[in-house]
Structure 1
Amino acid sequence: MPRLADPLTELQIRKAKAAAKAYALSDGNGLSLLVSPAGRKTWSVRYRLLDGTRPAPCVIGHYPGMSLAQARVRAMEIQRDAAQGRATQGLRSVARRAAAEETAEEQAEAFAKQEAQNASLRSVSGRWLSEKRPTWAAETYRKALLVVDSYLVPAIGDMDMRTLETKDVRPVLLKMAAETPQLARKARQYIGSIVDQAINEGLRRDESRLRLDRMLPKFRTGHMPAVTDDEKTLGEIMRAVYDYPNRTVRAALILASLTVMRPGVVASARWPEIDLDAGEWKIPGMNPDGSNRMKTGEDFTTSLPEQALVVLREMRERTDGSEYVFPPQGRQSSPHLSRDALSKALRDLGFQGKHTPHGNRASLRTLGRERLGIDVDVLEAQLAHAPKDEVEAAYARVKFREKRREVMQAWADYLDGLMASGQVVPIKAHVAR
């Protein structure tokens, strides 16, 4: 049988690249190499049956599993068998073997694809968020989810965590630094933790952490605005708070100022947590859904100074039968007052960039130390900062309970004094009106 093409060489076969459409390279004598758009190289042979007909070409194997020399031998065997009338059984076996090879390759490709998806930043970050959620406060989880879903996944979500490098992350962080500096800092922190997640899952080596420390440009960090060195301004803030027209928001702002609990904890306060007779607020460390209520996840008790009890007794009368101390306002969908309502109130009062509800904590930490001489350990215990070890934690709970009661009453009296310097109405009259 005359050749219809020049024979192929191993070099030609190795250099054959994938194209947009499948194409064939002929070796002559009915043997061809088919190259798919995915780059798979398959041997195909044409043959003639005893009756002279030519069935569809037969797949006999894949390169490089079957070499050029082996393909030529196998093609000759099939053509000989077909010409002698023994093609049916042999060709069925060839077809079965080729189908088995095809299935095995498809399965291997599917497995590799699934592995790549499982190792993508999209998947790893999802598992990281799921593991962290039970130990995080709701606001912490919300912020992490925002950064991951809105910034990281759209930009690098399909990247393989097994091979992710610092250079892959840098453009994303620099773009965020130019647009949202605070979120860029969080994103850098989250990426480091997601890489740790990949290491813990065995996707990366222990030493393969990214170099992110000095990647972001320097800028002034944005601590929560707080008055820590201007008693006159703090007095103005407290007077404005007591004059705020919305009674529910006003009461929540006062409680946040007097107890320095985080605004989210204040806004979600429940009546079963508060003992007006004992003057205590026992805050569960965890929410019913398993998420953190306190940042540490530990139960916490704070005393309630006399001024706070006055406010709470008023709210008790106004919310009789309600589970929450501060009911939702307007169109709020939550079962209790939104924490953002407290921040908005201070902005509306003209203190944007000067003080926030969370800033009360910094005010106590600084002014309580400098003006009232409160011991640092007592302040840290009242702020519910996590102690360094279990012994210290137990010591703080036992040693400072009564001391903190004295301190919080002193803090409330101190704030009263700052308000009084501006000739305001006494606190009890203020709340009752």
Structure 2
Amino acid sequence: MKYKLTDTAVKAAKTKPDGKPAKYTDGGGLYLLVMKSGKYWHFDYTYEAKRKTVSFGVYPDINLKTAREKHQAAKELLARDIDPSAYKQQAKAEQIAITENTFEAIALEWFTKTSPQWSQSHSDKTMSRFKNDVFPWLGNLPIATIDPTTILKCLRRVEERGALETAHRIKQTIGQVFRYAVVTGLRAPRDPTADLKGALPAYRGKNFAAIIEPVQVGQLMRDIQAYKGHLETRVALQLSAYLFQRPNEICAMEWAEINIEKALWSLPAEKMKMGQAHLVPLPKQCLELLEEIRPLTGHRRYVFPSMTDSTKPMSNNTVRQALRRMGYDNDTMTAHGFRAMARTLLDEELEVNIAYIEQQLSHAVKDVNGTSYNRTKHLRQRIAMMQQWADYLDSLRAGTQVIPFKAKAG
């Protein structure tokens, strides 16, 4: 087909003398429509017995050569029985979907839907990792275009600063975002983190240091009882040992959560790592400690308010630093180590049913049917266990013996 227009003619093309649009035909249905607002390339064609028009863009952004190339491509689509207008709309929609579905947009959508089930601390850590370690490198990229190599470069930056464990956790979170994108409309073709298996060095986590020998535990309890620092810190140490909850849970204990009459501490779901409400039976030793500290902090929100800002809870570091001052370094005993201490001795020395221990540690425990225990499951047995544990610690402090709780098989 012989085209009619030239570059010079296109450049000189004007509206009609009266200002109305003028049409400059190039051939084969391609023409330049000149209006007061600009010059537009159009292609008129027939598809399924209907007269249709598709636009190729505005001159001079689309010059004569490019307009003819688009015209030829449209004719080839027609030869394959494809409507050029519908094809253009579909391509435009796909491009919009790609550019709008950035990794950051999908990640924030995933975070909004899943984070209500998490503890506040886990939620904060996840968002912090996104903002500091992921979004600056992947955030603006269309999620469907991100490949394993791009993700690995992001992870290497974290690894190279010595945070290998964090790099592994970030890889896991990125994978969760991709899988969410796949199942919510195929906004990503697949999870590319699956190709990164073995790409990062293996992380061998270090367990929290804990004292698990009964004689040494007795000495620890004597040292805590003789602690010369603030009363709040000493009581926090003692409750850490008696109750073996996570350090942040102990430090953020609130008076409103404590039922003295029922001897129960009720932790709301938002405070818990697993995102589920938790009940902690309070042995008589703990009730006595709470009464001891009540005149000092009972009028506050927190049982252990911060020394610098009474509207905030005690820092987790307070217990750790107290242990250091008593001579227990980080390789000997940690604030989190009270949990491992209780887990080991309740099992090996007092022979308590492991399910009761795991539930009291607020771990994800399921029964034989695969159902998660609710917070009141085995409460009677756990109340007895907690009192037995407190008595056992007191006996170790005094150097006496205690008869085991019960057989494990119960």
Matches within 5 A, 1:16-55: 30-31=8-9, 44-47=10-13
Q: Contact between 2:281 and 2:383, CA under 8 Å: does it hold in 1?
A: yes
Q: Are 1:167 and 2:167 counterparts?
A: no
SS in 1 for 2:266: strand
Matches within 5 A, 1:2-151: 30-31=8-9, 44-47=10-13, 74=31, 91-92=34-35, 95=38, 97=40, 102=57, 115-151=97-133
Cα 1:248/1:50, change in 2 over 3 Å? closer
Find the counterpart in structure 2 of residue 382 from structure 1.
360
Cα 1:347/1:127, change in 2 over 3 Å? farther
Displacement after TM superposition at 1:173 (Å): 2.0
Cα 1:217/1:74, change in 2 over 3 Å? closer
Q: Contact between 1:122 and 1:157, CA under 8 Å: does it hold in 2?
A: yes
Find the counterpart in structure 2 of residue 198 from structure 1.
181
Q: Contact between 2:158 and 2:164, CA under 8 Å: does it hold in 1?
A: yes
Q: Contact between 1:60 and 1:95, CA under 8 Å: does it hold in 2?
A: no
Displacement after TM superposition at 1:48 (Å): 8.4
Displacement after TM superposition at 1:188 (Å): 1.6
CA distance in 1: counterparts of 2:31 and 2:375, whole angstroms: 83
Q: Are 1:415 and 2:381 counterparts?
A: no
CA distance in 2: counterparts of 1:91 and 1:394, whole angstroms: 71
Deviating above 4 A after TM superposition, structure 1's stretches of 4 or more consecutive aligned residues are 47-51, 58-61, 68-71, 96-103, 105-114, 206-209, 389-399
SS in 2 for 1:282: strand
Q: Are 1:252 and 2:233 counterparts?
A: no
Find the counterpart in structure 1 of residue 66 from structure 2.
none
Find the counterpart in structure 1 of residue 196 from structure 2.
212
Displacement after TM superposition at 1:411 (Å): 1.6
Cα 1:346/1:144, change in 2 over 3 Å? farther
The one-letter amino acid paired with 2:271 is R
Q: Are 1:354 and 2:336 counterparts?
A: no
Displacement after TM superposition at 1:167 (Å): 1.7
Find the counterpart in structure 2 of residue 221 from structure 1.
205
Displacement after TM superposition at 1:313 (Å): 0.6
CA distance in 1: counterparts of 2:122 and 2:329, whole angstroms: 25
SS in 1 for 2:279: strand
SS in 2 for 1:210: helix
TM (normalized to structure 1)? 0.69
Displacement after TM superposition at 1:385 (Å): 1.8
Q: Contact between 1:256 and 1:263, CA under 8 Å: does it hold in 2?
A: yes
Matches within 5 A, 1:328-347: 328-331=306-309, 335-347=312-324
Find the counterpart in structure 2 of residue 182 from structure 1.
165
Q: Contact between 2:23 and 2:31, CA under 8 Å: does it hold in 1?
A: yes
Displacement after TM superposition at 1:253 (Å): 2.2
Displacement after TM superposition at 1:314 (Å): 0.9
Unpaired segments ≥5 residues, structure 1: 1-8, 11-26, 32-43, 76-89, 286-291, 423-433
TM (normalized to structure 2)? 0.72
Unpaired segments ≥5 residues, structure 2: 43-54, 63-87, 401-410
- Aligned-residue sequence identity (percent) comes to 24
Find the counterpart in structure 2 of residue 427 from structure 1.
none
SS in 2 for 1:211: helix
Tell me the matched-pair count.
352
Query: 1:188-234: CA deviations, max 9, x gaps?
Result: 21111111222133212367663333222124213333334x33443
CA distance in 2: counterparts of 1:314 and 1:363, whole angstroms: 25
RMSD of aligned Cα (Å): 4.0
Larger gyration radius, structure 1 or structure 2: 1
Q: Are 1:266 and 2:250 counterparts?
A: yes
The one-letter amino acid paired with 1:374 is V
